[in-house]
Structure 1
Amino acid sequence: IRFRVHEFEDLIDSSCITLKGQQKIAKTIQENYRDYDGFVVVHGTDTMGYTASNLSFMFENLNKTVVVTGSQIPISQLRSDAVDNLLGSLIVAGPLQIPEVVIYFDNKMMRGNRTTKASSSKMDAFESPNIPPLAVFDVSLQVEWNRILKHNQGQFKVFYDMNQNIAQISLSPLFTNYEVLNQMFHSSDAVILSGYGMGNL
């Protein structure tokens, strides 16, 4: 397996990434799509789940593996988890041919748009609450092929025009500022309400 490293000129902290930065990642993959079997995106952990999710919705008819990974401890420090995460990602992106955007972290491969960062202090920083891991790296590699998306028909495309005028608010029993909520409904194209329990409002 052969790899090529592409590094962006202006590196930023992942907490500063915007849709423009995610579009830049998507465009780089699109420009190199025919030349490689898979892609690994090295990303900061704070917004890794957001980028993986957005990429999964930007890519249409994806038939190659796109792995987003990073580390809790920088690669320059002792005990860093960066090397293991990077090597595992390269194994996933190369021979496995999984037509999805996934996150690989701490020996687990999870669906990109179902993964969230659950801890800032543990090596096992990411979890997929509603879908079990797609693969687990123990002594042997265990891939749950029945959970993997099927290969797509049609030409690979990238959807860049994503709507950013979307608001999100978490409700609680103590929430009473309905004026703010009313303003959000009138100024946003969509409002995501996070309820409690089974979504009771």
Structure 2
Amino acid sequence: METPPLPPRPAGSTEHRVLVLGTGGTIASEPTSEGYAPISEVTARDAFFKRIRQHPQLSDAPAEAFGAPVLAKRVGRDMKYPALRTPILDDKGNTVLYEILDLENHMDSSEMTPSDWNRIAELISEHWDAYEGFVVLSGTDTLAYTSSILTFLFAGAGKPVVVTGAQIPLREPRSDGWYNVLESLLVAGTLPYTGVSVVFCHQVLQGCRAVKASPDNLQAFETPSVPHWMRLNVKISPLDSLTRRSASRPPPLVKLEAFPTVLSCAIYPGITGSVLAAQIHSMPTCRAVIISAFGSGNLPVKEESGVLQALEAAVKREILVVVISGCYYPNIYPLYALGVRLLAIGVLPGGDLTHEAAFAKLIWLVSRKELSFKQKQDLFQTPIAGEMTVNLQ
């Protein structure tokens, strides 16, 4: 059976092509005996597509019965669904023609790994020339990690990559996923800006600055240190500083190390250097350590705690050691006396990096085998894609 053709494009409209990558998450979840969960079975995947196909804001085709056949085709390990087209989205006549490429393994995003990020990045790179923009559907728990790593992998590229999801599954009438998908298609397909972003609850957020702020609120994501890129209200309000689309191609794709390379440690009252050293030694493949410190980067430095000695020993083993703030509004002051001592032993200040961005940047750096340890240290302190502000005071 052949895929039915799309209805004629509305007269005077301009069509933009977008690829949507489905990874599972809440947006694609179905009820199970243990609660909602993303399901990899074909019937569940097809049901997700059927809901989108039926929605008048996401498809301009005549509504089909929910039980009508789904004519998907296998593409390698993944499933590609027939193209859909949005109705006209604005007064300029823009529409978006989009295809959903559903990844083989539907997952809760808490199961996301660097191998999954490699797969997502490979698919975007492979289809770069065929589409004007890309949307990644993700679970929300690690969505900000995904948007952060994609920011580094596609730094300077001239097309937008949008990451979105939902707090309520798409199968539910109150799902926030409907507008998140629609507005992601708008941003990826029709707006003149590039970069990796998070689209959620009528906001466009810088991908490497986003954090999940609430597991319950529909406005689930924020960028604590910087303004929103855009607010999708009655009028769309973009920042003047946004980068516009261009013909710039992505940099050579960095394949992320699949084994654990970045250790994250929180500083708490009474922690000792022996505890930190034990954590580092317990991960033989450790190449970087994030220290989430008090306030503006404070941690115990008395000789008897052994914390500075443990960090210095890690740096001598050419492990990148980074201190970030555990505060919601992060800000590290390397000019304070403690900061000077940390710099002296080779510990790097994280500035206003979020934990998600620090984690992603370190994975990106340690996966680059062509760089020396010193080059990795220098690049960590260099803004790559607006992920940090230097010389914070």
| 8 Å CA contact 2:158, 2:249 repeated in 1 | no
| 8 Å CA contact 2:157, 2:248 repeated in 1 | no
Find the counterpart in structure 1 of residue 98 from structure 2: 3
**Aligned AA for 1:145?**
D
Distance 2:137 2:279 in 1: 35
| 8 Å CA contact 1:44, 1:71 repeated in 2 | yes
Find the counterpart in structure 1 of residue 232 from structure 2: 137
Residue 160 of structure 1: how far off its partner (Å): 1.5
**Aligned AA for 2:171?**
S
Residues 1-201 of structure 1: matches in 2 within 5 Å?
1-146=96-241, 148-149=242-243, 155-156=249-250, 157-162=252-257, 164-172=260-268, 174-185=269-280, 187=284, 188-201=286-299
Distance 1:59 1:94 in 2: 17
| 8 Å CA contact 2:201, 2:218 repeated in 1 | yes
| 8 Å CA contact 1:134, 1:145 repeated in 2 | no
Distance 2:227 2:126 in 1: 32
Q: TM-score, normalised to structure 2's length?
A: 0.48
- Report the count of equivalent residues: 199
Residue 98 of structure 1: how far off its partner (Å): 2.3
| SS of residue paired to 1:55 | helix
Distance 2:227 2:106 in 1: 32
Which sits farther off after the overlay, 183-192 or 10-19? 183-192
Q: TM-score, normalised to structure 1's length?
A: 0.91
Find the counterpart in structure 1 of residue 3 from structure 2: none
When Rg is computed on C-alpha atoms for both structures, the one with the higher figure is 2
Distance 1:99 1:3 in 2: 18
Point out which structure has higher relative CO (alpha carbons under 8 A, 6+ apart): 1
Distance 1:110 1:37 in 2: 19
Question: 1:28-60, CA deviations, whole angstroms, 9 ceiling, x for partnerless residues?
Answer: 101110011100111110110111111111224
**Aligned AA for 1:165?**
T
Question: 1:148-170, CA deviations, whole angstroms, 9 ceiling, x for partnerless residues?
Answer: 24667854232113484111111
Q: Residues 152 and 179 (structure 1 numbering): CA distance in 2 closer, same or farther, change over 3 Å?
A: farther
**Aligned AA for 2:229?**
L
Q: Residues 155 and 123 (structure 1 numbering): CA distance in 2 closer, same or farther, change over 3 Å?
A: closer
Unaligned runs of 5+ in 2: 1-95, 300-393
Seq. identity, %: 34
Distance 2:120 2:157 in 1: 15
| SS of residue paired to 1:97 | coil
Q: Residues 141 and 15 (structure 1 numbering): CA distance in 2 closer, same or farther, change over 3 Å?
A: same
Residue 17 of structure 1: how far off its partner (Å): 1.1
Distance 2:219 2:168 in 1: 12
Unaligned runs of 5+ in 1: none
Which sits farther off after the overlay, 133-142 or 52-61? 52-61
| 8 Å CA contact 1:104, 1:110 repeated in 2 | yes
Distance 1:178 1:7 in 2: 46
Distance 2:129 2:247 in 1: 16
